[in-house]
Amino acid sequence: MDPWSWICELPESQDFSESDTHAVFQLGGDLTRSIQLRVERDSNADLESLSLTFKVVAEGFSHLKSSTIWISNTCTLSSEKPFLPLVLQLLQELISHSPTTGESTCTKSETLEIKPGPVNWVMDSHSPESFSSVFNLILVTRLFWLCVLDAPTEVGSFFFQHLLGPHVKSLTCQHAPVLRTFLVSLGVDAELCIVRAVSYVISKWMISKEVGLGNLGLKQITSPLPHQSLGFAYATEAHGLWTLKGYFPILSMNLTTNNSSSQNHNNKIIKFPLVEPKEAVLRYALSHQHAEVIVQFEYSVMFHENYIRVNAHVDNVRIHVSKLGFHKGRGTENQIADCYSDEKYFPSRVQVWMGPEIGSSHVSGLSLGRSTKNEEREIEVLRVLKGNFGKGKVAPRVKARARISTRRKIKDWRIEQESEGNVAVFDAVLYDRESGQEVMTVKPNQEGLKNVFTKSGGMVFGRDEYGDGVGWRVGREMEGSVLKWRMGGKIWLTYWANKLCTSFYETRCVEWCDEVDLPLVPTS
């Protein structure tokens, strides 16, 4: 599906210029029904001032009052960027329809206005074929609100099966660098609105797949392989920081541990098993959550007489699990969220890493900055002596025995620093206080998780925890070149019942990586 290239070719299309009606791009369809993108022109205007109007048309649906379900603002071909207003309109409407997290008071999608400058810059600096991935994401997400929330049910089912299903992987930036550039250019506020909207769409599609609502365009969903989860993941460099971001819907993450016997040996995400209604609604509510992970590495490059040293340390790691929904009057998720507002996934293990590209022979001498922690143990020994009270054989004897008790001091989170080749690995694992085992591998014990997370259920690691730096030595002959530096993350999210009485629990995991440029250029 490449509607953007089709749009860009319209001014040079002979068939369109000679037609008195319209041009049509088929977005999805079968023998009797279809969803189309149409463009109509003002037949009374000359070619220099030709005005175009785009429409989304749903054909063949009996319960629609009108086949036209969306109309764009006017685009003028004589302008320098004739189709920029179309992109801005779709993007602004997408953001205004973005779900809320129920907790955020800072990012207001209703009042966020997209500035044309960054969008225009991305369009100018990329070819139509490259920008198509951005336009597909915007269009498919905007169509979701039109077809699923604002149209009859038959239109929504058709959208899932014939449009979203075959093109669901367009809702990711893992294989499209232009999407990364686009999100960075818009700023973090617009980025959050976009990724939350896309995560909501993916979650709805995966829920429909799991409950078996027809053939939705792909084979039965299996757990995604590393670096292939549906979501957004990328790395950037700016102002002495490497930033690694990951946004993933809960259902797109690998299922690693749960209490369901219906999970097969291939670790597939299968249809919802037969469970009691309360647990089924709980799982439905949990399926609308998604993970937001931000990792920042602070780095520096120092030039010595015989080598170049690259230093880095984890500046901070921020993990937040958002519950995506709407205000009252916008779907049923708001009512469900009220009943299950305290039920949420939480991070139970975090692993981040960084290092030179694979096969790099000019980087060596990885230096770590933290030793393996020797846990402090406190041992208490109590001895009681035996003795007799009174005189004579008839005096009672007091019996006593020695008692030895051991107490162990541990933290909820254990943070370690490791290495794998030239890669530095930082690992943080949440442990259960009572059993001393990793939370992600044991059955729930709510008493051991009090005061471990932020009020919203997230987790923040600052440089006081991860602050010990690492370093690499690079040959001086590499001065003036640009190296590729890799970084990645792997997180585990666990659900334990909070206030709800249920035996359901599970842990999910997602892994991703990316690379940035590291210039080895001396500065003043």
From 51, 97, 57, 58, select the one nearest 73 (Cα to Cα). 51
Environment class of 206 (CB within 10 Å of its CB; exposed 0-12, middle 13-18, buried 19+): buried
Residue 87's identity, in one-letter code, is V
pLDDT tens, N- to C-terminus, the chain (524 residues): 789 999 988 877 665 665 556 788 999 888 889 999 999 887 665 555 678 899 999 988 888 888 899 999 988 887 888 899 999 999 999 998 888 876 666 666 667 888 999 999 999 999 888 899 999 999 999 999 999 888 888 898 899 888 888 888 888 876 678 888 999 999 999 999 999 999 999 999 888 877 665 444 443 333 333 335 688 899 999 989 999 999 999 998 998 887 753 444 344 444 444 456 777 888 888 888 999 999 999 999 999 989 999 999 999 999 999 888 875 545 555 555 566 777 889 999 999 999 998 878 788 878 887 766 655 555 555 565 555 555 556 555 555 555 555 555 567 888 888 889 899 999 999 887 777 788 888 777 655 565 667 766 677 888 777 767 899 999 999 999 999 999 999 999 999 888 777 888 899 999 999 999 999 988 76
From 173, 305, 242, select the one nearest 488 (Cα to Cα). 242
Contacts for 246 with CB less than 8 Å, ≥ 6 apart: 231, 232, 233, 291, 292, 293, 489, 491, 510, 512
pLDDT value, residue 110: 67
Cβ atoms 166, 28 nearer than 8 A: yes
Residue 242, number of CB atoms within 10 A of its CB: 22
Cβ atoms 23, 13 nearer than 8 A: yes
pLDDT value, residue 405: 58
For residue 259, give the DSSP letter.
S
Residue 287's identity, in one-letter code, is S
Q: Look at residue 41 and give its three-state secondary structure.
A: strand
Question: Distance between CA atoms of 301 and 282, rounded to whole angstroms?
Answer: 50
From 285, 333, 343, select the one nearest 500 (Cα to Cα). 343
pLDDT value, residue 29: 85
Cβ atoms 356, 484 nearer than 8 A: yes
pLDDT value, residue 220: 38
- Helices vs strands, H then E, count in the chain: 11, 22
* Angle, alpha carbons 116-120-125 (nearest 5°): 155
pLDDT value, residue 131: 92
pLDDT value, residue 517: 93
As a three-state string, the secondary structure of 54-76 is: EEEEEECCCCCCCCEEEECCCEE
All structural domains of the chain with their residue ranges: 231-372+409-523
Cβ atoms 317, 295 nearer than 8 A: yes
- DSSP annotation string for 278-322: HHHHHHHHHTTEEEEEEEEEEEEEEE-SSEEEEEEEEEEEEEEEE
Residue 169, number of CB atoms within 10 A of its CB: 12
Query: Residue written as tokens 């949420």?
Result: 344
Farthest-apart Cα atoms in the chain, separation: 128
